[in-house]
Amino acid sequence: MKKIALLLTMGILAFNSWSCNETPTAPQIPGENEIWFRNGAVTPKNLNVSIGTTVTWTNMDVETHSVDSGTFMNPTQDFPSSKNLTEGERFSHRFTEAGSFPFYCSIHQTQQSETGTINVN
């Protein structure tokens, strides 16, 4: 009986030490009003928000990215450009008027995967 109790105790301790050492995984999708640069693309490409919403772009990629207003062929000044964002860095902008606001990464300006639109209602 003592052997069974000892084996059960050892099993419980082994399981607890294994489960306590698990590394939490990062979220797999952006949060509300958030856009990620990840694996050379932006997610989501289109985001619908209300007037007064702050949108945050986060670089989840190992490569440096930027957030610029407009498109490669038609840059605009609808909102200020970010600095170059290294992995883990963020850029936020509050949209105060209605409209469609395209954005792109000027570092990788010809990659369609790094473009998107913020639609403000």
User: Which structural domains are found in the chain, ordered by start?
Assistant: 30-120 (2.60.40.420)
Judged against a pLDDT cut of 90, whether residue 18 lies above it is answered with: no
Site of tokens 């990659």: 111
19-72 tens-digit pLDDT = 455 555 666 788 899 999 999 999 999 999 999 999 999 999 999 999 999 998
> Three-class SS of residue 85?
strand
> What pLDDT does 15 receive?
47
55 beta partners:
93
C-alpha 45: how far from chain center:
12
Q: What is the mean pLDDT of residues 3-22?
A: 52
> What pLDDT does 45 receive?
96
